[in-house]
Structure 1
Amino acid sequence: MASTDVEKAARAEIALMAAAGEALAPLLRGWLDRLAHERRLSPKTREAYARDMAAFLHLLGRHLGGPVGLEALATLAPRDVRAVIAARRADGAEPRTLVRFLAAARSFARHLEREGIGKVGALAAVKAPKLVRSLPRPVTVEAARALADPATRAGEDRDNWVLARDAAVIALLYGSGLRISEALSLTAGEVPLPGQGDQVTVTGKGGRMRMVPVLQQVLEAVSEYRTLCPYQLDPDAPLFRGAKGGPLSPRVVQQAVERMRGALGLPDSATPHALRHSFATHLLAGGGDLRSIQELLGHASLSTTQVYTAVDAAALMASWRSAHPRARLPEKTGQ
């Protein structure tokens, strides 16, 4: 768990307490404790909930013309909630942000009801903005392999160990479908040497742990990095190191991929996270079943994984349109 995430969560909670005032502060503190210990949400997620709840209380207080207490929450009308959402939208919030914003307020309202303190019925009466789910945009197998190949960056003025490091991280993202945060949180002792194992244990969202298989080619890429790395890689210390020896920043990997996609002529959608999408899409295309892919990706819900069936179907239709002789209707001729 990155200490910066914990620090950011703490700052967001302080800001929330300041926005709440004395009446709601202890109740909000109890809500955040429930999120941490009963729902086991990560510091990053709790930070988002705290920031959204602080914004909700601020805008609601501005709308009502005074501090927000339990009585004000209990007597809210749906029009009040809509006014707050409209104010948040006017501040430039996107639909996805508005959905999260409303979800935080509803979560706090459920906490109040569970504690027997009261109900905030107006929040349930207002529909969240509709989201149009965009399909993941994976890269091709060839592009994924090129991104994980140190030779792609052979002309760059960078140390060989840095090129090997970035290639090893990218190989893990594509070869095992890891999130970048999961790959960078691995310790040197958690990733086996080639021939000495074929899986790693990662901690994903919500603190959920899962076993993930690792190809020997990926382990060989990691082993090459280990050999070249100038720093001592203790078993309990981060495996991937930055230029000065500290934990590697996700931004460094993102920048490496940005440089390579320019050289390879790939679109802006070719990001480190797109390699995770590619892992799932290519597995599905190769005959993998959704339940297995769900477990490999660490998705809590199968519905999250099912989006890849749409990606696979879209790719199939694109191939059909480009290759099948009946895909294009003949132009109409005049009678």
Structure 2
Amino acid sequence: MSGAEALDGFLAWMRDERRASSNTLVAYRHDLAGFLGFLTRHLGAEPDLAALASVTHTDLRAWLASEATRLAAAARRRPRSSPDGNNRSRAREASALRAFFRYLARRHGVENAAPGLLAAPRPKPRLPRPLTVAQALELPAGIAGEATNRFAALRDEALFTLLYGAGLRIGEALALDCGMVPATTDTPLRVRGKGGRTRLVPLLPAVLAVLHRLLALHPAAGAGGPLFCGVRGARLDPGVAQRTLRTYRRLAGLPEHATPHALRHSFATHLMSGGADLRAIQELLGHASLSTTQLYTLADETRLMKVWETTHPRASRRAAVPPIKDVPDAG
């Protein structure tokens, strides 16, 4: 079996059994195809399973070094790129390689300890960048005001209200069908998230009301078609929603990080600012790990400063500094 055939099998396994996202599959294919191409040049022939089993730690370090050179050259062509972005790419490449070799060991008996010893730079975590409460609340109606017809206005208002009001990912929202909208707030919305995990998300009355207004005008409400559809009735493409928000943010003077995903960040950050429990936010967002949700504690600087000011004995601005008493001389 060639390395390319093993890569195809690995990606199919990631898709079908690990339920990896399409973005992960694209990134892993790119990274591992680059690795196999490097080995072809390095070894003088296309690698097979035997060649992969004999890859050394030195070979892997040489590959990472070549990738670092390539990324640095690309960064020089893009002056606005950050060094941490390059570190993130190299860390992802190392992660893809380790996953690939674990698959080879399980499915093809290729035992090679070198990838497990591979060290990669650890990038700094990307802190969520939410909108302000006012910006998040005004955005759905503002976007609807730019629509060309009534249905598009209702659709866009409902979509962006849902993203902020329920913290959904754009793909999760666009995967909803008309029949999935609950009749009352007593019934939560069933959302299928990453890895095929399903979670129940309660809907606020204001969010449910705008969804019902959309259904009242929806051409496929009774047929169970996609809740958010385009002009031809097909499921709305994420790129269309992203482009709609990109156009509006320029008109409204919003920051460049105002994206559909920023509304999900805003949902979590504003809940945390209001005192919501971290575990509850994790469940609402559908995070598999609490460490992912904990990033919002770092982003919520205002809340952290308030906690510091109200809990630390020396942080209170109202506390008077006690006078220094004279100490009698011991002599």
TM-score class, shorter: 0.7 to 0.9
Is residue 2:256 matched to residue 1:268? yes
Distance 1:224-1:66 versus aligned 2 partners, 3 A rule: same
Equivalent position SS for 2:119: coil
Equivalent position SS for 2:189: strand
* AA in 1 matched with 2:124: V
Is residue 2:50 matched to residue 1:71? yes
> Which residue does the alignment assign to 2:277?
289
Could you give the per-residue CA deviations for residues 146-193 of structure 1, whole angstroms, max 9, x where no partner exists? 01225x653x36112211111100011000000000000000000124
Aligned residues: 299
**Higher Cα Rg: structure 1 or 2?**
2
Give the CA deviation at 1:320: 9.6
Q: Please, which moves more after superposition, 312-321 or 231-240?
A: 312-321
Could you give the per-residue CA deviations for residues 270-299 of structure 1, whole angstroms, max 9, x where no partner exists? 111000001001111111111111111011
* AA in 2 matched with 1:281: T
Identity %, equivalent residues: 44
Is residue 2:207 matched to residue 1:218? yes
Could you give the per-residue CA deviations for residues 102-144 of structure 1, whole angstroms, max 9, x where no partner exists? 2222112112223462322221222122211121100111111
Aligned with 2:132 (options 140, 152, 156): 140
Is residue 2:167 matched to residue 1:177? yes
Q: How does 1:7-46 map to 2 (within 5 A)?
A: 22-24=1-3, 27-46=6-25
Contact 2:147–2:153 under 8 Å retained in 1: no
* AA in 2 matched with 1:220: A
* AA in 1 matched with 2:150: N
> Which residue does the alignment assign to 1:257?
245
* AA in 2 matched with 1:104: A
CA distance in 2, matches of 1:318, 1:65: 62
CA RMSD of aligned residues (A): 2.7
Runs of 4 or more consecutive aligned structure 1 residues displaced over 6 Å after TM superposition: 318-321
Contact 1:36–1:42 under 8 Å retained in 2: yes
Contact 1:169–1:183 under 8 Å retained in 2: yes
CA distance in 2, matches of 1:301, 1:127: 23
> Which residue does the alignment assign to 2:197?
208
CA distance in 2, matches of 1:277, 1:43: 21
Contact 1:190–1:235 under 8 Å retained in 2: no
> Which residue does the alignment assign to 1:98?
90
TM-score, normalised to structure 1's length?
0.80
CA distance in 1, matches of 2:307, 2:282: 26
Could you give the per-residue CA deviations for residues 34-92 of structure 1, whole angstroms, max 9, x where no partner exists? 42444233454334333322221112222232221233223322221122122233333
Contact 1:242–1:248 under 8 Å retained in 2: yes
Distance 1:273-1:252 versus aligned 2 partners, 3 A rule: same
Contact 1:187–1:235 under 8 Å retained in 2: no
> Which residue does the alignment assign to 1:3?
none
* AA in 2 matched with 1:51: H
Q: How does 1:183-332 map to 2 (within 5 A)?
A: 183-193=173-183, 195=184, 197-229=186-218, 231-313=219-301, 316-317=304-305
> Which residue does the alignment assign to 1:125?
117
CA distance in 1, matches of 2:114, 2:133: 49
* AA in 1 matched with 2:252: L
Distance 1:226-1:38 versus aligned 2 partners, 3 A rule: closer
> Which residue does the alignment assign to 2:322?
none
Contact 1:258–1:271 under 8 Å retained in 2: yes
* AA in 1 matched with 2:279: R
CA distance in 2, matches of 1:258, 1:29: 36
CA distance in 2, matches of 1:214, 1:161: 22
CA distance in 2, matches of 1:302, 1:26: 36
* AA in 1 matched with 2:241: V
> Which residue does the alignment assign to 1:83?
62
Q: Please, which moves more after superposition, 40-49 or 239-248?
A: 40-49
Contact 1:200–1:213 under 8 Å retained in 2: yes
Contact 2:31–2:96 under 8 Å retained in 1: yes
Contact 1:63–1:84 under 8 Å retained in 2: no
Could you give the per-residue CA deviations for residues 242-289 of structure 1, whole angstroms, max 9, x where no partner exists? 122211111222122223322332210111100000100111111111
